[in-house]
């Protein structure tokens, strides 16, 4: 069973002759797509984006640990609860990994690889039934043995002069990190929303959990700029842009270099070089964009928006206003890139 503060909780099931109803928590704040439409210039502030992105990362990390690849992250699927925190919803496109036995632990000693940009996770699996999970993988981090604070309990290996005797690792100390995400699974399914599809899905090369980090990059870009990065005149052009067009940032609004670097790292077209491809959410949570985020106390953070007490009349009016202001029905303004 899934149990996480940023995921839906099933309270009950009711069945009739024609319907099966699932009872879950009501989210009076609507979804982030509608909420974005209400913001000045239809985009969130960077601090608000950091808040929502952090909670999405926490939710994705959890479902990855449950051997689930989400595959449909977009603002429409992120709801705002009564307390202003998020709920990730709509799992109809998700992939449940085969819970096979854990693979032997493997070691990564390249510090560049640990950043999630240069490590190649090779696998011959190309169908959902062929899974190579990394659900019990201890990875050793060189030179960080003295750091004790981390989101998960871990061990520091030491011996002799501080390194591992007889090993080729540096003597500065090694840190074991438990990676519980299926970073190496592969599926050939073509699923998702066009503007959020990862290049490996479009090209049919097979995909794994790294697609969720690509969609996180598109998600952050859209919240910051009010547009998605590769949208074309039609769906065919959008898919072509995803595969071949270089990432560009609009001139307006001004966005921090840390935010741009996060998006650039997540939108690496090569999934093996994408941030999070090697150790999952751990690499993303260490990115400078999330500096200052207390991951252990996300639920205690102050949300940028708390919905007013729910009323049927207000909800009906808000839904009507959202329909009239949707991106597809309103003339947009040209976006200038550089």
Which residues are identified as catalytic?
72
Cα 119 from chain centre: 19
Helices 257-266, 210-225: inter-axial angle, 10-degree rounding: 140
Q: What are the structure tokens assigned to 330, written together?
A: 């309103």
* Main-chain dihedrals φ then ψ at residue 96, nearest 5 degrees: -95, 120
Q: Is 199 exposed, middle or buried (0-12, 13-18, 19+ CB in 10 A)?
A: buried
The Cβ of residue 294 has, within 10 Å, a number of other Cβ atoms equal to 9
CA distance 199 to 268: 9
| Residue 28 near residue 34, CB atoms below 8 Å | no
Q: Of the candidates 77, 107, 79, which has an alpha carbon nearest to the alpha carbon of residue 93?
A: 77
Pairing state of beta strands 156-157 and 174-179?
Answer: antiparallel
Q: Of the candidates 105, 122, 120, 119, which has an alpha carbon nearest to the alpha carbon of residue 176?
A: 105
CA distance 88 to 216: 13
């Amino acid at each position: 069973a899934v149990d996480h503060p940023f995921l839906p909780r099933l309270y009950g099931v009711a069945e009739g002759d024609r319907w099966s109803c699932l009872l879950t928590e009501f989210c009076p704040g609507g979804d982030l797509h509608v909420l974005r439409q209400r913001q000045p210039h239809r985009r969130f502030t960077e601090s608000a984006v950091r808040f929502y992105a952090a909670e999405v990362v926490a939710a994705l990390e959890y479902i990855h640990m449950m051997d689930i690849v989400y595959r449909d992250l977009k603002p429409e699927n992120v709801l705002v609860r009564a307390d202003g925190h998020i709920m990730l919803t709509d799992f109809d496109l998700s992939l449940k990994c085969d819970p096979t036995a854990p693979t032997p632990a493997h070691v990564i000693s390249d510090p560049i690889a640990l950043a999630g940009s240069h490590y190649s996770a090779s696998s011959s699996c190309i169908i959902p039934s062929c899974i190579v999970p990394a659900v019990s993988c201890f990875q050793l981090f060189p030179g960080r043995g003295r750091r004790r604070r981390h989101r998960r309990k871990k061990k520091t290996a030491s011996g002799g002069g501080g390194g591992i005797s007889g090993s080729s690792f540096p003597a500065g100390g090694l840190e074991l990190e438990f990676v519980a995400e299926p970073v190496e699974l592969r599926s050939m399914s073509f699923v998702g929303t066009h503007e959020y599809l990862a290049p490996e899905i479009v090209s049919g090369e097979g995909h794994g959990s790294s697609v969720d980090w690509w969609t996180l990059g598109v998600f952050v870009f859209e919240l910051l700029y009010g547009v998605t990065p590769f949208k074309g005149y039609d769906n065919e052009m959008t898919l072509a842009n995803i595969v071949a067009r270089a990432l560009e940032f609009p001139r307006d609004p001004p966005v921090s270099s840390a935010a741009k670097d996060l998006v650039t790292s997540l939108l690496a077209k090569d999934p093996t070089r994408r941030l999070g491809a090697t150790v999952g959410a751990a690499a993303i949570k260490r990115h400078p964009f999330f500096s200052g985020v207390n991951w252990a106390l996300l639920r205690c953070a102050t949300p940028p928006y708390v919905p007013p007490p729910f009323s049927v009349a207000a909800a009906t009016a808000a839904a009507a206003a959202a329909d009239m202001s949707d991106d597809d029905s309103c003339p947009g303004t040209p976006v200038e890139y550089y």
